[in-house]
């Protein structure tokens, strides 16, 4: 079953819309350099309004362990996504209390065997870019997802997905659980549906919605 996650939530309206469209999880970015960063008080308020069975995820980039745990506990979030250069030992220290999603940036030199080092519940694959740690909208060779999937952990695809390519990418990569179709338009500081084109009604998005929703990262 394909599951989906909307990342970069900054307001209650977007969070509830994501849930209505079938998202399995919504991500809150606690990285100040991101245009969609959010503070703990605001995130906590949104988390409290999420419906049952929608998982809130805290997204962090190279932040101190104590600060991360304080934010997670304050907001009532039990899943942490590490999108920076966090080591395997760093991730391991979160494993007893929290679920960990480790983001790996993919380039031509990416070695799928590197996932073996991380004690993560799932892996998110995104494109390596000099522009930042994620959210660039650029694609990578998603054949790498097949190799990562062979290690028995859920894989989340991120980067450059849209209603036109998502179904084809899903079939090509062989994923059956987690993916991230880019069916939402970026606006600085928020995520909004591309309502002008009704993108969530297009065939690729409808397929993902039936399987579990729509995601972007």
The DSSP secondary structure of 13-36, one letter per residue, reads HHHHHHHHTT-SEEEEE--TTSTT
Q: Tokens 């519940």 correspond to what residue?
A: 121
Q: Which of 14, 91, 126, 208 is catalytic?
A: 126
Alpha-carbon distance of 206 to 121, in angstroms, equals 27
Q: Mind listing the pLDDT tens digit for each residue in 30-70?
A: 999 888 899 999 999 999 999 999 999 999 999 999 999 99
Q: Tokens 């799928």 correspond to what residue?
A: 112
Average pLDDT estimate for 138-167: 68
Task: For residue 217, count CB atoms less than 10 angstroms from its CB and return exposed for 0-12, middle for 13-18, buried for 19 or more.
Answer: buried
Check residue 96 and give its pLDDT.
86
Share of the chain above pLDDT 90, in %: 35
Q: How many CA atoms lie within 13 A of 194 on its CB side?
A: 17
Alpha-carbon distance of 186 to 155, in angstroms, equals 23
Share of the chain above pLDDT 70, in %: 60
**Closest C-alpha among 57, 190, 171, 146 to residue 181:** 171
Looking at domain 5-211, its CATH superfamily turns out to be Aldolase class I (3.20.20.70)
- The 8-class DSSP code of residue 174 comes to T
**Closest C-alpha among 79, 138, 86, 66 to residue 107:** 138
Active site residue 7: yes
Q: How many CA atoms lie within 13 A of 88 on its CB side?
A: 6
Q: Tokens 């591309």 correspond to what residue?
A: 194
Categorize the per-residue pLDDT at 5 as very low, low, confident or very high, splitting at 50, 70 and 90: confident
Q: Which of 7, 75, 91, 208 is catalytic?
A: 7
Q: What predicted TM-score, i.e. pTM, was given to this entire model? A: 0.77
Q: Where are the domains of the chain?
A: 5-211
- The 8-class DSSP code of residue 178 comes to B
Active site residue 126: yes
Q: Cα–chain-centroid distance for residue 73?
A: 20
Helix (H) or strand (E) holding 208: helix 203-211
Categorize the per-residue pLDDT at 169 as very low, low, confident or very high, splitting at 50, 70 and 90: low
Average pLDDT estimate for 106-112: 71
């Amino acid at each position: 079953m394909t599951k989906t996650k909307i990342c970069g939530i900054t307001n209650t309206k977007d969070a509830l819309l994501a849930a209505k469209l079938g998202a399995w999880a919504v991500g809150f970015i606690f990285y100040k350099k991101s245009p969609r960063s959010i503070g703990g008080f605001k995130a906590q308020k949104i988390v409290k309004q999420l419906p049952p069975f929608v998982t809130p995820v805290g997204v962090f980039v190279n932040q101190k362990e104590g600060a991360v745990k304080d934010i997670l506990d304050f907001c009532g979030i039990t899943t942490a996504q590490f999108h920076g250069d966090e080591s395997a030992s760093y991730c391991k220290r979160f494993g007893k209390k929290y679920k960990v999603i480790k983001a790996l940036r993919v380039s031509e030199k990416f070695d799928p065997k590197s996932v073996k080092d991380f004690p993560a519940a799932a892996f998110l694959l995104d494109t390596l870019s000099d522009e930042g740690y994620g959210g660039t909208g650029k694609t990578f060779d998603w054949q790498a997802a097949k190799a990562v999937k062979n290690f028995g952990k859920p894989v989340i695809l991120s980067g450059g997905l849209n209603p036109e390519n998502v179904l084809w990418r899903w079939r090509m990569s062989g994923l059956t659980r987690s993916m991230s179709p880019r069916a939402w338009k970026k606006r600085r500081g928020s995520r909004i549906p591309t309502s002008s084109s009704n993108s969530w009604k297009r065939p690729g998005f409808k397929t993902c919605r039936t399987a579990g929703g729509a995601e972007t990262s």
